[in-house]
């Protein structure tokens, strides 16, 4: 199985700051169709996960452009510019290139 290593495990940031979360995979996530199926999810407290970014850098519907994703092959980053209070929760990276799908262990974002 592809191992997704996500860092840091937790972050505490002030409103308006920017943060980055790293996700590294044990194998390349480029599929045979040339696409990279690496996604970012946010699970707000008591809620189901919501997809923020799909295929590395594509913003999901209704997701603010404060969120951005970059990376390639095995190394990916989620950046949140100008953190807002509603951004708190646990962020997960997920790969759907290889079966079984695997998730990072999560990064808990707290607001100072």
Partner 1 sequence: QIQLVQSGPELKKPGESLKISCKASGYTFTDYAMQWVKQAPGKGLQYMGWINTQTGKPTYADDFKERFVFSLETSASTAYLQINNLKNEDTATYFCARGLDLGTWGQGASVTVSS
CB of 48 to partner 1, least distance (A): 5
Query: Do residues 1 and 99 lie in contact, with contact meaning Cβ atoms separated by under 8 Å?
Result: no
Query: Do residues 44 and 50 lie in contact, with contact meaning Cβ atoms separated by under 8 Å?
Result: yes
Regarding 100 and contact with partner 1 (CB under 8 A), the answer is yes
Q: Is 99 exposed, middle or buried (0-12, 13-18, 19+ CB in 10 A)?
A: exposed
In the DSSP assignment, the letter for residue 101 is P
Regarding 96 and contact with partner 1 (CB under 8 A), the answer is yes
Regarding 19 and contact with partner 1 (CB under 8 A), the answer is no
Tally Cβ neighbours within 10 Å of residue 61: 6
Which lies closer to partner 1 via its Cβ, residue 38 or residue 83? Answer: 38
Q: Report the C-alpha gap between 39 and 78 in whole angstroms.
A: 10
Q: Residues for the chain: how many in total?
A: 112
Q: Give the residue, chosen from 29, 41, 56, 80, that forms a contact with partner 1 under the rule CB under 8 A.
A: 41
Q: Give the residue, chosen from 32, 49, 80, 82, that forms a contact with partner 1 under the rule CB under 8 A.
A: 49
Which lies closer to partner 1 via its Cβ, residue 87 or residue 107? Answer: 107
Binding site for partner 1 (CB under 8 A): 37, 39, 41, 47-51, 54-55, 60, 92, 94, 96, 99-106
């Amino acid at each position: 199985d592809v191992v997704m290593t996500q860092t840091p495990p937790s972050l505490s940031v002030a409103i308006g700051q920017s943060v980055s979360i790293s996700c590294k995979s044990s194998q390349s996530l480029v599929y045979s169709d040339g696409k990279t199926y690496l996604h970012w999810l946010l699970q707000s407290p008591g809620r189901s996960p919501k997809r923020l970014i799909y295929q590395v850098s594509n913003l999901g519907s209704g997701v603010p452009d404060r969120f951005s994703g970059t990376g390639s092959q095995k190394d990916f980053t989620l950046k949140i510019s100008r953190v807002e209070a509603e951004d708190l929760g646990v962020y997960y990276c997920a790969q759907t290139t290889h079966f079984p799908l695997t998730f990072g262990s999560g990064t808990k974002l707290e607001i100072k």
